[in-house]
Chains A and B, each alone.
Chain A
C-alpha cells in the first residue's frame, strides 16, 4: 500500500492524504482504494481534478507588515504571488519570476530575500515586511525620502525592491563606501539606469546613521 508521508510539523493532513480521502468518498471510485498504489495514482489523474484540487492547499499563517493572516495556499504558490494576488499587496514587483532581478525583494524575519523564489507555504510563522509596510503612518521611511530626493528611479518598477534591498544593505553593514553599496545592491536590476542616484540615496541615509527597519 501507499506509504503515508511523515508530517510531524503540521497537524493538518498531508495533501495526498486529504485528497485520497476525498476520492475514497466518491462512491464510484471506492474500489480503487484497494488497488495498488501505482494503479491508484494513475486512476487519480483521470478523476475530477477540479474537485480534488480543493484539497491541494495548505494552511499558512504569516504576518505581513504587522498584520496576521491565515491563508490557504497551494504549495506551488510563491510568496510573491500570494502577496500580489491573494493579499493584493502589489508593491512587491514581478520582474522575472526566476530570482534574477530583485524587484520582488521583501524582508522575511528582517532579512532581504527574493519572494519569487520563496514558496509561500515555507514562510509559515514568519514575519514579512513589504514596501507597503516600510513607512510609519504618513511618515515615509528615510530611504523612501532619500530615493525621492536623489531621484533614484524613473519608471518606478524596480523601486520597491531597490528600497527594501537598500534598507537591508545598511542594516547588514554593507554601505560603508559607494563601491560596497554597488556590490551589495547588485542583486537589484534597474533598466532605466538610476543606479548612480540610488547609490547617492543609500550613501546619504547610511551617513545619517542608517535607517529604521
Chain B
C-alpha cells in the first residue's frame, strides 16, 4: 500500500466553485441579461430556401409594425469596413458568412434581415412580416447524396495518408471491416447565443457576447469595423455552455453590431432555439469505412480508415476524424483518407471532442469486433497494441498513463466479471451487456498573459481575458494559486471575461487549465521572488533574501532554517513601503515539448440493459478513467468528466438532427424533438483519474480533459449493446427501432 495518498505536500481539500453562489442565486449574468436604458431587441429572419438568390425582399410591413426601430437587409446595409478586402488579392477581414453582404443564399435559415423593435414581442412579430422572393437553385444537404453526386474537396489536408504498406490489413489472418454512420449533432448549450451591443459614437463599442474566446471576439470586431483595440470592449462574465458552439464570432453577432449602429440604440439579439441548429455550427454527419487486420495473437497488421463528412459551400471545415486511427495503437501499416463534401448547410464547427469523437466510433467498435473474433478480452487486445512511442512520429510521450487508466477503470467497473460470450446475460427480463473503449485527444498549451496583483491586505488578484463556459476555470486557477502561495481560497480572486484584461486564450481544445494554469503557476513563482526581494526591507530575515530560503504558507513567508522567523505578505509589503506588487506574467509553450508527443486519455466502461421486445437501451452504469495529468481541482474535474459521459450518452443513444433534403430544412430543431439526455437517462457515473503529473507540458502537470470525457463513449455503448444482444449497430444514434 504505502503512503501514496499522502505524498503530496498539499492536503487534499475540496474547493467549491468560486462562482457557485452567483450561479445558484440567479445573480450570474449572461450576455442577454444586461439592463440599459433604451435597449432595443433584434430578431433574425432566416431564408427559407437552401440555395439561390433573393429576388426581392419586402420590409414595408415590418417597418410599419408597432414599435419597430429599423430593419437591416442586404439592400440597406452599411457594410462594415472588414467586408471589403483592401487588397483584392487577399481575402476580406471578415471570414465565413458575411451577413447581409449580398443576395446570395448559401443555406436554409441564413439571415436575410434583422428586425429591431422596442420590445421582444414586437420585434418577433415584425420579423414575421418580412417577405422575400427567391430565385431558387438545386441544392444538396445530405452527405450520402453528395457522395454520389459530387467530388470531395481537394487539398493537402484531404490527401491520403499512408504509413507502411497500404493494403496490409487485407492479408492479415483475422480481419474486420465495416461502414459506420453518424448524423449531424448539434451542441445546443442551454444558453442560446446572445449578443448585446452598445455603440458610443461610430468608433467605440461595448459588446456583451456569448463567446469562448474574449480576445478572439474582440479581434473579429476590430477587424470587421476597423476599430482600435481600446475601442472594442468585449464582456463575457458568464457563458451558459459552449461545447464549441461559441468558438467563433457568428453572423448574428455581426448583425447585432450592424443593427445597433443603424438605430443608434443599444441592441440585443438572442437566437431562438431553432436558430441554434442553423446559425452556430454543428458536428457534421459522417460516413466512415474502417478495416483492421491482425495476426492470430491480436497484433495489428494493418488498418484502413476512410472518413466522409460535410462542410458548407462557403467555408472549408476540417477536423481530425482519422487522426486517432493513426495515433492510438502501435501498427506499422495505416492508411487514412478524409473526404469533405460541401453541401447547402451552414459551416460546421468543433463540437466537444471534435474529430476524435467521430473517428473513435468506427475505430473502437472495430477493435471490439476484432476482440470477439480473436476470442480475446478487449482490454487485452488494446494492451497488445499499446504504443510506447507516438506511432506517427516515433517521439516519446511527455506522459502516458493509459495502461494505468485501463487498470483503474476496469477495477472500478468490475470488468473481470464480464462474460466473454455475447447475448448471454439477463437481468429482470432485460439483456445485459458491458463494453469499453479508449479515447485520446492531444494535450496542448498555448500562450497567455496573466496579471497578478498582491494587495496590501494580502489578497491576490489574478486577471486574464478568458471566458469560462462551464468547466470552472476560475476555480481551478484559484486552487493552483492557493497551493503555490499558501493562501486561503478567500484571499484569491480570479478575474476573467473582460477584453481589457491581459490577453488570455480561447477556451477550447481542452487547453484552459494547461495554458492559464501554467501562467498562474509561473506567475506565483515570480511573485515569490518579488516578495523575497521586497523582504529585504524586513529586519526579521536579516540578510537572507534568496527565495529558495523561504516557505510560502498560510499567507506568510517562513524561513526554512528557522520557522519562528516569519512574516505575513501584507507585512512584507508594509515594511517595504509598497501598497501592492503588480506585474504581468507571460506564459507560453515549453520549447522542450518539440521532442515529445502529448495526449490525454480516457477509458470508458459502460453497462447497458437492452429490452428484448422493445429495443429500449438503458445505461445502467458508466465508469470513466482518465489520464489527464495532475488533477488540479478534483471536484470540478470529476464533474467535467461526468458531464462528458452525459454528452456521450446523448450521442450514443439519441442525438440526431434531421434535415428534410427536399426542403433543406431541419425537422427536429428543438429540444422536444432533438433529444438530449434528461435526468432519467443518466445513472450514477464514476469518474476516476490516474492523477499523475505530466512533467513536461506545463509546470502544473495537468493535461486536457473536456474532450476525452466524451471521445469514444459512443463506441463503448455500441460495444456493450453488441455484448448484450449480439447485434453490431454501426449507425448512431442507437434508438429502439435499430434493436427490434
Contact = CB atoms under 8 A, between A and B. Distances in A.
B680 A183 contact: yes
A148 B66 contact: no
B243 interface: yes
B684 interface: yes
Contacts of A183: 679-680
A49 B66 CA distance: 5
Contact of A100 (B35, B242, B270, B273): B273
Interface stretch (A1-9, A30-38, A76-84, A205-213): A76-84
Contact of B23 (A77, A84, A94, A159): A159
A60 interface: no
A144 B25 contact: yes
Interface in B437-487: 469-472
A93 B190 contact: yes
A144 B25 CA distance: 7
Contacts, number: 190
A118 interface: no
B88 interface: no
Interface in A92-131: 92-98, 100-101, 103, 130-131
Interface in B645-694: 645-647, 670-672, 676-680, 682-685
A90 B188 contact: no
Contact of A76 (B121, B636, B672): B121
Contact of A130 (B26, B635, B671): B26
Say which size band chain A's interface belongs to: 35 or more
Contact of A155 (B29, B122, B241): B241
Contacts of A97: 272-273
Contacts of A144: 24-25
A151 B17 contact: yes
A196 B682 contact: yes
Interface stretch (A10-18, A21-29, A187-195): A187-195
B346 to A, nearest CB: 20
B190 A95 contact: yes
B273 A198 contact: no
A158 interface: yes
Given A192-B470, A195-B677, A90 B33 contact: yes
A41 B23 CA distance: 49
Contacts of A149: 16
Given A157-B189, A189-B671, A191-B243, A88 B639 contact: no
A7 B273 CA distance: 36
A50 interface: yes
A154 B641 CA distance: 11
Nearest to A96: B273
Contacts of B415: none
Contacts of A159: 23-24
A77 B25 contact: no
A190 B190 contact: yes
A148 B680 contact: no
A52 B65 CA distance: 11
Contacts of B27: 91, 132
Given A49-B66, A196-B684, A91 B26 contact: yes
Given A92-B26, A160-B26, A151 B190 contact: no
A81 B121 contact: yes
Given A154-B640, A196-B642, A182 B680 contact: yes
Contact of A131 (B20, B25, B680): B25
Contacts of B20: 147-148, 153
B678 A189 contact: yes
Contacts of A157: 30, 189-191, 238, 240-241
B644 interface: yes
A191 B685 contact: no
Contacts of B16: 148-149, 151
B646 A153 contact: no
A194 to B, nearest CB: 6
Interface string A48-64: 01101100100000000
A157 B610 CA distance: 33
Interface string A134-177: 11000010001001110101111111100100000000000000
B25 A132 contact: yes
Interface string B5-29: 0000000000011011111111111
Contacts of A72: none
Contact of A154 (B64, B643, B645, B679): B643
Contacts of A153: 17, 20, 23-24
Interface in B185-233: 188-192
A92 B26 CA distance: 7
A148 B24 contact: yes
A163 B20 CA distance: 13
Contacts of B189: 155, 157, 191
B245 to A, nearest CB: 10
A178 B683 CA distance: 9
Among A56, A148, A196, chain B packs the most CB atoms within 10 A around the CB of A196
A78 B208 CA distance: 24
B191 A147 contact: no
A156 B238 contact: yes
B148 to A, nearest CB: 35
B67 interface: yes
Contacts of B67: 50, 53
Given A97-B272, A132-B26, A185 B679 contact: yes
A154 B471 contact: yes
Contact of A81 (B120, B240, B685): B120
Contacts of A94: 32, 192, 270
Nearest to A148: B20
Given A151-B17, A191-B188, A90 B677 contact: no
Nearest to B644: A193
A193 B641 CA distance: 9
A98 B670 contact: yes
Interface string B118-156: 011110010000000000000000000000000000000
B190 A103 contact: yes
A156 B19 contact: yes
B646 A193 contact: yes
B190 to A, nearest CB: 4
Among B647, B678, B684, chain A packs the most CB atoms within 10 A around the CB of B678
Contacts of B65: 49
A53 B125 CA distance: 13
A30 to B, nearest CB: 22
Nearest to B646: A193
Contacts of A191: 188-190, 241, 243, 647, 676
6 contacts: A49-B65, A52-B66, A144-B25, A151-B636, A157-B238, A197-B639
Interface of B: 16-17, 19-30, 32-33, 35, 64-67, 119-122, 125, 188-192, 238-243, 270, 272-273, 469-472, 635-636, 638-640, 642-647, 670-672, 676-680, 682-685
Given A147-B24, A191-B189, A196-B684, 10 more contacts: A52-B66, A77-B121, A89-B26, A151-B639, A153-B24, A155-B240, A157-B189, A192-B241, A194-B643, A197-B642
Q: Give the top 4 A-B pairs by smallest Cβ distance, nearest first.
A: A91-B26, A193-B646, A157-B240, A156-B23
